[in-house]
Amino acid sequence: MIPYYKPIAKEVEVFEHSYKQKLPFLLKGPTGTGKSRFIEYMAHQLNKELITVSCHEETSATDLIGRYIIKGAQTVWLDGPLTIAVKTGAILYLDEIAEARPDVIVAIHSLTDHRRELFIDKLGETVKAHKDFMLVASFNPGYQKGFKELKPSTKQRFVAVSFDYPDAKVETEILVNETTIDIAEAKKLVNIANKIRNLTELGLTETVSTRLLVDAAKLISSGLPKRLSVHVAIVEPLTDDLEVITALKDLSDLMI
């Protein structure tokens, strides 16, 4: 099945050319803005295998490159997802790369420049990347505190595209396509989202993403009352502050 992705700007074209040139690609933007969906779609369009690694603070170079494991009385080497992608010519997607340990950035260094090779220190081997291999990473610039930064010297190794919340018309279209909600309901959800997005004084670390709207729309289409759907899919995931929850509940109840 073709993943559904609604292009927002020129990202499809930029990606196609970056793929042709095998330039590393960085998707920047807040959570739930379609970055993962975009890369799934592009891999499908280009007919390439996609290997995704969701990075977290424990993700290390070893997790990506590979390790020795004990099998019976023997130790055998097991390639990690990065090594597999480099050898087989897949697209490797490092989701939330800034969360990973610093040795991950070191490990991908020689893959993100003209060398296009991976050094496997535990084996003392250097592997040349397959001609189809491409490295893609995502990063949430999170202008608020609590988000990890990506060093400028690392960012400069990628072609980068920004993802953001789509305009109301496009976002409504996404909701209608992703769920069975009707257009009038979708519009209301998008209005609620935009209202909350504009309430910068609430100091939310992250605001309403398209993902939250899709979740609310799914609950509504499934038959859950609308206000309750908005409350549990949009308001509660955004904050734990009781006062803010009450304020957002009042506001969204009025709008749906």
Among 101, 109, 211, 226, binds ligand ADP (CB under 6 A): 211
Q: Token digits for 130?
A: 């397959």
Q: Please answer whether residues 98 and 150 qualify as being in contact, where contact means their C-beta atoms are separated by less than 8 angstroms.
A: yes
Query: Looking at this protein, which amino acid is placed at residue 128?
Result: K
Measuring CA to CA, which residue among 174, 154, 167 is closest to residue 194? 167
Q: Which of residues 165-184 bind ligand ADP (CB under 6 A)?
A: 174, 178
231 exposed, middle or buried (CB, 10 Å; 0-12, 13-18, 19+)? buried
The answer to whether 31 contacts ligand ADP (rule: CB under 6 A) is yes
Q: Is 244 helix (H, G, I), strand (E, B) or coil?
A: helix
Measuring CA to CA, which residue among 216, 214, 203 is closest to residue 255? 216
Q: Compute the least distance from the CB of residue 243 to ligand ADP, in Å.
A: 27
Contact region for ligand ADP (CB under 6 A) — 30-38, 42-50, 64-72, 180-188?
30-38
Q: Token digits for 28?
A: 């920047």
The answer to whether 97 contacts ligand ADP (rule: CB under 6 A) is no
Residue 210 or residue 229: which is nearer to ligand ADP going by CB?
210
The answer to whether 226 contacts ligand ADP (rule: CB under 6 A) is no
State the DSSP H helix or E strand holding residue 94, giving kind and residue range, or none if neither.
Answer: strand 91-95
Among 18, 24, 28, 37, binds ligand ADP (CB under 6 A): 37
Residue 211 or residue 249: which is nearer to ligand ADP going by CB?
211
Gap between the Cα atoms of 228 and 220, Å rounded: 9
Q: Compute the least distance from the CB of residue 253 to ligand ADP, in Å.
A: 24
Residue 129 or residue 212: which is nearer to ligand ADP going by CB?
212
The answer to whether 32 contacts ligand ADP (rule: CB under 6 A) is yes
The answer to whether 130 contacts ligand ADP (rule: CB under 6 A) is no
The answer to whether 210 contacts ligand ADP (rule: CB under 6 A) is yes
The answer to whether 6 contacts ligand ADP (rule: CB under 6 A) is yes
In 3-state terms the chain splits into helix, strand, coil percentages (rounded to 5) of: 45, 15, 35
Phi/psi at 69 (nearest 5 deg)? Answer: -125, 155
Q: How far apart are the first and last CA of the chain?
A: 33
Q: Please answer whether residues 111 and 104 qualify as being in contact, where contact means their C-beta atoms are separated by less than 8 angstroms.
A: no
The answer to whether 214 contacts ligand ADP (rule: CB under 6 A) is yes
When CB distances to ligand ADP are compared, the closest residue is 34
Residue 210 or residue 252: which is nearer to ligand ADP going by CB?
210
The answer to whether 108 contacts ligand ADP (rule: CB under 6 A) is no
Residues that bind ligand ADP (CB under 6 A): 4-6, 8, 31-37, 174, 178, 210-211, 214
